[in-house]
Amino acid sequence: MKTRTIERTRLVPHTVDGVTEMVLDREQIEVPAPPRDWDHIVRTAVTIGAIILVTASLAWTTASIGDLLSAVTIAAVAYAAAVAFDASWIMCMGVEWLLRYDPERAQVARRAGRWALAVSMGAVFAHGYLIADTWVIGAVGAVVSALAKGGWSMAMRVHARPLDPRTQQWVTARRAKVDGQLAMIPIRRELQRGQALVDAERRSLGGTPEENGSAIPEAPGTPEPTSEDPDPKVSPIRSGRVTTQEAVRNAWDSGIRDPEAVLRTVRNATGKQVPQSSVDRYLRALRVGA
Residue-wise pLDDT for 64-101, tens only, equals 999 989 888 898 999 999 999 999 999 999 999 998 88
Asked if 10 and 45 sit in the same domain, the reply is no
- Pairwise CA distance, residues 193 & 53, whole Å: 49
Whether residue 236 lies inside any domain: the answer is yes
pLDDT tens per residue across span 105-140: 889 999 999 999 999 999 999 988 888 778 888 899
What is the per-residue pLDDT for 121? 93
Asked if 138 and 201 sit in the same domain, the reply is no
Asked if 58 and 155 sit in the same domain, the reply is yes
* CA angle 241–243–246, rounded 5-degree value: 100
Q: How far is CA 19 from CA 12, 14, 105, 184, 223, in A?
A: 14, 8, 68, 63, 75
Asked if 112 and 144 sit in the same domain, the reply is yes
Residue range of the domain that includes 136: 38-159
What is the per-residue pLDDT for 108? 93
Asked if 28 and 67 sit in the same domain, the reply is no
What is the per-residue pLDDT for 241? 60
User: 15 - beta bridge partners?
Assistant: 20
Backbone angles phi and psi of 196, in degrees to 5: -65, -40
pLDDT tens per residue, the chain (290 residues)? 788 888 888 899 999 988 999 999 888 888 888 888 888 899 999 999 999 999 999 999 999 999 989 888 898 999 999 999 999 999 999 999 998 888 888 899 999 999 999 999 999 999 888 887 788 888 998 999 999 999 999 988 888 888 888 998 999 899 899 999 999 999 999 999 998 888 888 887 764 444 444 444 444 444 444 444 445 444 444 444 678 888 888 888 888 888 888 888 888 888 788 888 888 888 888 887 76
Of the candidates 45, 54, 147, 39, the one whose C-alpha atom is nearest the C-alpha of residue 97 is: 54
Q: Which residues of 57-85 are buried (b: 16+ CB within 10 A; e: fewer)?
A: bbebbbebbbbbbbeeeeeeebbeebeeb
Whether residue 214 lies inside any domain: the answer is no
* Chain-centre distance for alpha carbon 281: 47
Full 3-state SS string of 122-179: HHHHHHHHHHHCCHHHHHHHHHHHHHHHHHHHHHHHHHCCCCCHHHHHHHHHHHHHHH
Whether residue 276 lies inside any domain: the answer is yes
Asked if 62 and 125 sit in the same domain, the reply is yes
Q: CB–CB of 207/245 below 8 Å?
A: no
Whether residue 272 lies inside any domain: the answer is yes
Per DSSP, the residues of 32-90 read EPPPP-HHHHHHHHHHHHHHHHHHHHHHHHHHHHHHHHTTTS-HHHHHHHHHHHHHHHH
What is the per-residue pLDDT for 63? 92
Whether residue 175 lies inside any domain: the answer is no
Of the candidates 180, 193, 60, 32, the one whose C-alpha atom is nearest the C-alpha of residue 127 is: 60
What is the per-residue pLDDT for 210? 44
Q: Which residues of 211-228 are buried (b: 16+ CB within 10 A; e: fewer)?
A: ebebeeeeeeeeeeeeee
Asked if 70 and 141 sit in the same domain, the reply is yes
- Pairwise CA distance, residues 274 & 264, whole Å: 9
What is the per-residue pLDDT for 228? 47
Q: Residue 273, Cβ neighbours under 10 Å: how many?
A: 7
Whether residue 55 lies inside any domain: the answer is yes
Q: How far is CA 90 from CA 7, 54, 61, 66, 110, in A?
A: 44, 8, 12, 18, 11
Whether residue 173 lies inside any domain: the answer is no
Close Cβ partners of 274 (under 8 Å, ≥ 6 residues apart): 244, 247, 263, 266, 267
Asked if 149 and 233 sit in the same domain, the reply is no
- Count of structural domains within the chain: 3
Asked if 78 and 117 sit in the same domain, the reply is yes
- Pairwise CA distance, residues 38 & 45, whole Å: 10
Whether residue 130 lies inside any domain: the answer is yes
pTM: 0.56
